[in-house]
Structure 1
Amino acid sequence: MLRQLVIRDVVLIDRLTLDFGDGLGVLTGETGAGKSILLDSLGLALGMRADSGLVRSGQDAASVTAEFDLPAGHPALALLDEAGLEQEAGEPLIFRRTLKADGGSRAFLGGGPVPAATLREAGSSLVEIHGQHDDRGLLNPKGHRALLDSFGRVDAAPVARAWRRLSDLRAELEQLRSKAADADRDREFLDHSIAELEKLEPEEGEEQALADKRAAMKQFARVQDDLDGLAGLFTGSDGGLSQLRQAARRLERIADTHPLLTEALTALDRALIEGGEAEEKVMAAQRDLAFSPEELDEAETRLFELRGLARKHRVEPDQLAELLDRMREQRQAIDAGESRIGELERSLAVAESDYAAAATALSEARRAAAERLDRAVAGELAPLKLEAARFRTVVAPGEPGPTGTDRVEFEISTNPGAPFGALTKIASGGELSRFILALKVALAEEGGASTMIFDEIDRGVGGAVASAIGERLARLATKSQLLVVTHSPQVAARASRHYRIEKSHGDEGTRTTVRLLDADERREEIARMLSGAAVTEEARAQAARLLETA
């Protein structure tokens, strides 16, 4: 609800502070007194287009501040959170806009700077301004579907859930199909690489073992002749050990003839023992180092294959076994992805069917609600002197989405036989305002913005029609705050707060002021509206009767 409006240096207003209350507030005054300035000022504070022509002549800048009371959970508070601004619970929400004479402007919400678009979005959730040139609220077809759903208490939640499920499945399926397309390009490479690696069967540490074996075989090749020669010296008939044994046998026959010969035999026995051990070690080394040329070729071939495959895949030879495991996993993932795609396609078909069923049920509920709304609006048209007009709610196929598959738009026909069309294209200024009022009355139980402003809704009508307008405005004002710019005494008499807009001329130029009228001033103002410039006693009496019966 709008609590206060503070205007500084806007056109003919230098300093103005207006306090507002619940119910129906009316603004009256002579033609040209400046009622449009108030609406332009409020629009500026709510983020509308900043026109430097609004800055009062001779001033550098203008500013407008609007203060609102908000209930907990209001959508405007979510915008504050998104903007990173804090709002104390129970504190009024402040909209502020400054405008420089050179055209620059700044916007503030809740005390912090925000883009004008944020100010405008928050403002549209709080205030509806209905007039001939307004393109928001009921005149914007984008909001008609939500209004119809609210009126008919239509539950769109099942469709929203079905759409989320459908969207999630579509996104996952699209992602998997994209991966599958990439996998198709990788499949042939993986199959070839896996077959190549499986044929080789690499093992961790194998490359080092082969390299060591190859080095050992090459080393043996270099010492093989020496080992063969040594073996001959040990084992041949003319070898050293054979001659030592012959010498030992001869010495054994004569060793007891002299002590030195006994010692010589003992030393010879030790030599034979050491020589035998040396012979065994040489023979063992010869056996260990023995290899065939084919074995060397096989080791070298496998070593070169390991190293070549490692270079091909840009890994170390010891990483080939791990690479093979990864490639197998990737290949399995491709197969699993294809299986998952099949599962998703089946789930998607079910989700599409579920969404279609929920959307169809929602469309039927909307068409039923549209019929009820059409009847409710039709009942309001005749008292507003629109008895020849017709109203209809069009529920037509639209783009599928979280709110269903319907496009909803309010249309009117103002004369018998005339085609239906959009509100803004068919109705004149006065008719449009009354159509909006009829709609608002029909939709009143479902609420809307907490503050509604009607700009000259009674234009071109009087008498019983003006009384009907006033009665319906007063009815609306029991559920929302209403501010009405009016020239109708019947409407003004229904107000709970009455403001008079006045223009004065003095040494400092022309100024526009606004005053909240007391009971006597209010009766005098309604009398002026009834009689014109010269207020008569008869007009005062009639004004009193209007106030008594309102």
Structure 2
Amino acid sequence: MLAEITIRNFAIIDRLDVEFESGMTVLSGETGAGKSILVDALNLILGDRADAQAVREGAERAEVSARFVLDDAPAAREWLAEHELDDDNECLIRRVVASEGRSRCWINGTPMPARELRELGERLVDIHGQHAHQSLLRRSAQRDLVDEYGEHSEALAAVAAAADTLRETRAAIAAIEQVDDAGAMRIDLLQYQVSELEALDLGADELDELEAEHRRLASAERLIGDGQRALTLLYEAEEGAAMDQLGSAERLVGDLAETDNGFAPILELVASARIQAQEAVDALRHHVDTLDIDPQRFREVEQRLASIQDLARKHRCAPSELPALAARLADELDALEGAGARLETLKMDEARQTEAYHEAAAALSAKRSAAASQLGNAITEIIRSLGMPEGEFSVRITPAAHTRINASGTDDIEFLIAANPGQSARPLERVASGGELSRISLAIEVVAATRTRVPTLVFDEVDTGIGGGVAEIVGRQLRALGTAGQSLCVTHLPQVAAQAAHHLHVAKQVRNGNTSTRITYLDAKTRVEEVARMLGGVELTAQTRAHAADMIERARD
């Protein structure tokens, strides 16, 4: 449940710290005091879109933090564990919005994107707004409510997976069937290009080898000449050859070493140098002998390199990329040339997948029919207690008129209401009375909330348009929801406020020309004063206070 929320510089709130308890908590106050702003701040902490307008005028940033206790939130605990964000049995969420609109989020101290915050928020709090009846007029929202009430997540996932598979197969079929004259031309082009690349037959390492051979052939005359000169300096010079000089030096140092042992290490170095020089002479002679000035081979290598460069320019790629290009074009050609056989296989897959989709959709339809009956009875029972004693709510499920593959199944779902005896059931959007629509919407919200697995329910003036004895019944319904967890209710109705276990009063105050919102916890005495104010009248009389006290006392019973 929501344990506390801290708000800084959000809208007209400069600084606000509020703690919450389990059960039903009411927030009341004059219009414009900031009750719904508190709900807006909660929406922000749950991943709603950040807006620079939310930052209090003159402030650099707005900040909202909330602490949740997760005793009754297994889905949230599981999500946190999956993301390695679990921290004992609590969750701390922080959201900061800068004055230019940029926002940052933290979950248990770890920076996270708003998308992840929304995923977690859906497992912590369910907010029912005062305009919920507007969304309930949409067929898609009605379908979603039936599925949520019936707990159809697994059946929906099966239909969606079958739909995705079938759509992918049909897309592949369409791509093949679109291969007409343009496709045939593509095949002709690919055949020519592949044959040209195959004729070139460029090996994986051939280009590097050709370039190295070209450099060697182009420099063959210099390599032979300079190599021979080096050989002469080392061994073949009549006077002063390096080998002769080293031999003389070795003999001299050898004589010296016989007299002075200090020359012994030097003798070893000179002897080693002469041996290495001899090895260099042998290697140099062998390599120079292998060098050959071959104009014919040089022309062949140049022509081969030119062919490679020409084909690379033609395909607008680097020469080294030609082998990969050849493989890629060959694969494309194989795919196009084998399209006929693949098309036959795909059509067999399509038939099988279509059957699987309709089986999954039929299973979902059966579940929806059962849930629709239960949902209709549950909502009918509530609306009859809300001043519509003859009201009859039902859910009509019919096969969709279209034949499109839809991830949500093949059903058209429509909410119907017969408000008075003798009236036929009509679609919910055709209900003329705003008061009736508000009561029906509230009944739907209450029933939907009984199936939610979210520990905290927020009702933001969902009782608009309701009064009298009906309002007291509404309050009882909201209190019943709070007994199973936590419900927060923003209301203007004293009948609803009297039912709460906890009562918070929201008020505006002006200091130094600045307006801000404050929240006060009401004790037994101040609560009576607030309910009396909500009952109406410019001046509170003893009779009004007695009425308020009686309402609160009767709610306890």
Superposition TM-score, scaled by structure 1 size: 0.62
- AA paired with 2:385? P
Q: 1:437 to 1:480 in 2, by over 3 A?
A: farther
Is 1:497 aligned with 2:498? no
- Pair 1:488-2:493 in alignment: yes
- Structure 2: runs of 5+ lacking an equivalent: 196-303, 313-327
Given that 2:131 and 2:462 are in contact with CA atoms closer than 8 Å, whether structure 1 keeps it comes out as no
CA 1:78–1:352 in 2, change beyond 3 Å: closer, same or farther? farther
Q: Structure 1 pair 409/127, CA: closer, same or farther in 2 (3 Å)? A: farther
Is the CA contact (8 Å cut-off) linking 2:130 and 2:463 kept in structure 1? no
From the superposition, tell whether residues 542 and 391 of structure 1 become closer, same or farther in structure 2 (CA, over 3 Å). same
Flag the 1:519–1:194 CA change in 2: closer, same or farther, 3 A: closer
Counterpart in 2 of 1:357?
359
Correspondence for 2:215: none
Instruction: Determine helix, strand or coil for the equivalent of 1:404.
Output: coil
Shift of 1:355: 1.7
Question: In structure 1, how many angstroms separate the alpha carbons of the residues matched to 2:458 and 2:444?
Answer: 14
Aligned to 2:411: 406
Equivalent residue number for residue 96 of structure 1? 95
- Which residue is 2:556 aligned to? 548
1:106 corresponds to which residue? 103
Equivalent residue in structure 2 for 1:539, among 541, 547, 552: 547
- Secondary structure of the equivalent of 1:400? coil
- What pairs up with 1:3-152 in 2 under 5 angstroms? 3-48=3-48, 54-69=54-69, 71-74=73-76, 77=79, 86=85, 88=87, 90-100=89-99, 103-110=100-107, 111=109, 119=117, 123=121, 126-134=124-132, 141-152=139-150
What's the C-alpha RMSD, in Å, of the aligned pairs?
4.9
Distance 1:178 1:77, change over 3 A: farther
Distance 2:181 2:409 in 1: 32
* Contact 1:131–1:433 (8 Å) recurs in 2: no
Deviation at 1:17, TM superposition (A): 0.6
The SS at the match of 1:482 is: strand
Partner of 2:224: none
Contact 1:76 1:125 survives alignment (8 Å): no
AA at the equivalent of 2:550? Q
Q: Secondary structure at the match of 2:489?
A: strand
CA distance in 2, matches of 1:314, 1:461: 81
Larger Rg: 1
Counterpart secondary structure, 1:352 = helix
User: Aligned pair in 2 of structure 1 residues 21, 411: CA closer, same or farther (>3 Å)?
Assistant: farther
Shift of 1:453: 1.9
1:59-458 superposed matches below 5 A: 59-69=59-69, 71-74=73-76, 77=79, 86=85, 88=87, 90-100=89-99, 103-110=100-107, 111=109, 119=117, 123=121, 126-134=124-132, 141-154=139-152, 155-173=155-173, 184-185=184-185, 337-387=339-389, 391-396=393-398, 397=400, 399-410=404-415, 420-421=426-427, 428=434, 431-447=436-452, 449-458=454-463
Measured after TM superposition, the shift of residue 18 of structure 1 is: 0.7
Kept in 2: contact 1:66–1:96 (CA 8 A): no
Check conservation: 1:44, 1:97, Cα contact below 8 A: no
User: What CA distance in whole angstroms lies between the structure 2 residues aligned with 1:328 and 1:50?
Assistant: 51
Distance 1:359 1:10 in 2: 46
TM-score w.r.t. the length of structure 2 is 0.61
1:338-376, Cα deviation, whole Å (9 max, x unpaired): 333212212211221232233234334323432332222
SS at match of 1:513: strand
Q: Distance in 2 between matches of 1:77 and 1:544?
A: 40
**Number of matched pairs:** 429
For structure 1, the 5+ residue unaligned runs are 196-306, 316-325
Give the % identical residues: 36
Contact 2:76 2:124 in 1 (8 A): no
How far apart in 2 are the matches of 1:408 and 1:88? 42
